Amino acid sequence: MSQSISLLFGVHAHQPVGNFPEVLADAHLRCYRPFLHVLYRYPDFCFAMHISGWLLDYLVDSYPEDMALLREMVTRGQVELFGAGDTEPVLAAIPNRDRIGQIQTFSNKLEMKLGQRPQGAWLTERVWEATVVPALADCAIRYVIVDDYHFLCAGKTTAELNGYFTTEEDGRRLDLFPISEALRYRLPFSPASEVVTYIESLAENGAAGDGNAAIYFDDIEKFGIWPETYQWVYEKGWLDKFVQGVLSSPKIHTQHYRDYHAAVKTRGIVYLPTTSYIEMNEWTLPAQPANVYAELVRQAKTGGWYERDKAFLRGGIWKNFFSRYPESNWMHKRMLGLSARLAALPECQRSAAMQHKLYESQANDAYWHGLFGGLYLPHLRRAVYRAIVELEAMLDACVPRPARFVEDTDLDGTEEMYLQNGVIQAVVKLDGIGSVCELDSYAMKHNFGDTLQRQPEHYYHKIHRSGNDAQGHSGAGIASAHERVNFKQKIDAVDMEADEHARGLFVDRLNGTLVSYWHEPCVADGACFRADVFPLHIKKSFELADNRLHVAYRFAGEVEGVFRTEINLAMPSCGGWSGRYIHQGQIPGGFGQLLELSAMTDITLDDDELAGSVVLHVSSPATLFAQPYYSVSQSEGGFEKIMQAVTLQLEWPLILGELSVTLEFNTKGSHGE
């Protein structure tokens, strides 16, 4: 009797919290809708689906007909729904109480909106730490999906990975399915007939009747959104051909994970190391270690031993993103602080809105960077900060904070001073630079200090090597995003120059040299600093007044030259048409343009995305140099320059005893508009 194999086929649909409406609409048009409509025509093709909670809400509200179609497919037994955290957090990166809350929230949502409570869960970015087991088990999740690579790192062989295994932590059991990397890289990029033949070949592994399974679970966006895939998958019929090939094969039968799990025994106990999928090993490392790691991988492939021993060529872990990117770490620790404040509130003071904002602040995408991570994308960080700022305002209304306090929020050994008055908040880093690292407007729900510092990236070597020329793909099928080298814009060497310091607000230079300050006591609720650049003495202070941040300088002594301060403002419109400068009743340009003004005393940065503006006022006429600040990112679509902020340089000749700079934050209709 010929052997057969169970195909456990699953797809994961996700869009980041805060993504652009046009991106969501395009994803639905080119991927979610056609995928469901193709699969609907084949009721015998069983598959699993995970849709992240925020995306599910959007699809139910915006495309109810298609979600009704999905619910019908669930009802008729074709689709098994998978759970997760509601806003797609990396479970290992949030407190256990929030893991449980996120998982339960999403399981309830699936049951209410699609009629099925999940037994299995998708693990965000397949980030595995054993600490997540208790929360998953306590939420009635019986199994999760991770990569086969995780098992190889634990000493398993590929031949063994044709079923599920069992692990435990703190007395709770959880079963683990290994996703086939070979299938991940074939679907949907290889011709459909070749993929079916490959799955059939897997039927020969293992004894007959042993519950042999081919396990696939990966991003649905590969089926329509990745470059070339819409034409390949739908217009050229790849998905139809694949489903027809599977259903007509005498060796393959599709099966739900839950049914396979109920019918087949575990392959045994396993304890997995802390890891994610194999590409993450490189992405999470700083540039130089990543270069070393990539060279080791290259040598292994050249030497022909990579596939055999790749599990022992380990790079970094997902949490390295917090130590690698200060901006990610700062967001993460701010979120943890708010989670602790919310948990400490009496239950009668907590609200569903607070919980919702906390969960939004835990969405994974803005915390990491790789081919798919969104740390480099300002609109995704902005969504996290919006949730943080909104939640903080709610918590302050219940338990007010002091107007001034000091703590080491990000655990980097350097304290920060918080100044807040319930209208705005300025956080000053006590690191010797005397600059603002976070600047919040509670009315606009925005952090104007959210600017990403430019640092070396491992993928820069691909840009240098390729010289802004796209590389094509040869052979049958189409190229995966991992193989592509495309350029969305021309990228110059200056665009990849690393910053000397964090991109804060009020970073000062004297004759081109960075001014070093030390913190000294203040009598008022402000922050005071002093610098001695012999024979010049500088005193610098920060104060809040309603919706204004006031920064004052006093100079004593005589030094010829130029004093300059740099202000990096995260303006949501960036280089778009909805952000512009207003000076003396005129619009001299947009945020994406260069601007130089002499003898400037006032300028307004007006931003439609914020429904508000920032007014800059100086006490003594200054020369203003304004320009967009870019960083170079990678994505599945290629390399691109992303505008992070507006950089304002204010310059004065050193002939003044005192000067001040004020930033005023106005919503539409408020004073000053």
Catalytic residue set: 125, 219
Report how far apart, in Å, the C-alpha atoms of 619 and of each of 26, 498, 603, 659 are: 49, 33, 13, 6
φ, ψ for residue 99 (rounded to 5)? -60, -50
| Long-range contacts of residues 292-297, Cβ cutoff 8 Å, at least 24 apart | 294/458
What CA–CA distance (Å, rounded) separates 456 from 466? 17
In the chain, the largest separation of any two C-alpha atoms, in whole Å, equals: 96
Pairing outcome for strands 79-83 and 47-51: parallel
How many whole angstroms from its chain centre is CA 630?
A: 18
What letters, b where the CB count within 10 A reaches 16 and e where it falls short, cover 543-579? bbeebbbbbbbebeeeeeeebbbbbbbbbbbbbbeeb
Termini Cα distance of the chain: 80
Of 366, 309, 311, 640, whose CA–CA distance to 484 is shortest?
640
Beta bridge partners of 446: 441
What CA–CA distance (Å, rounded) separates 320 from 508? 31
State whether the Cα torsion 63-66-72-77 is positive or negative.
negative
Residue positions counted in the chain: 673
What CA–CA distance (Å, rounded) separates 200 from 420? 64
Beta bridge partners of 544: 549
φ, ψ for residue 271 (rounded to 5)? -125, 115
What CA–CA distance (Å, rounded) separates 165 from 80? 20
The answer to whether the beta carbons of residues 597 and 582 sit under 8 Å apart is no
The answer to whether the beta carbons of residues 426 and 419 sit under 8 Å apart is yes
Full DSSP string of 90-127: -GGGS-HHHHHHHHHHHHHHHHHHHS---SEEE-GGG-
Pairing outcome for strands 579-583 and 586-590: antiparallel
| Long-range contacts of residues 54-61, Cβ cutoff 8 Å, at least 24 apart | 54/15, 54/16, 54/17, 54/86, 54/87, 54/88, 54/360, 54/363, 55/13, 55/14, 55/15, 55/24, 56/109, 56/110, 56/113, 56/114, 57/109, 58/15, 58/24, 59/28, 59/32, 60/113
Task: Give the CA count within 13 Å in the CB-facing half-sphere of 508.
Answer: 24
Full DSSP string of 610-622: TTEEEEEEEEEEE
What CA–CA distance (Å, rounded) separates 32 from 494? 39
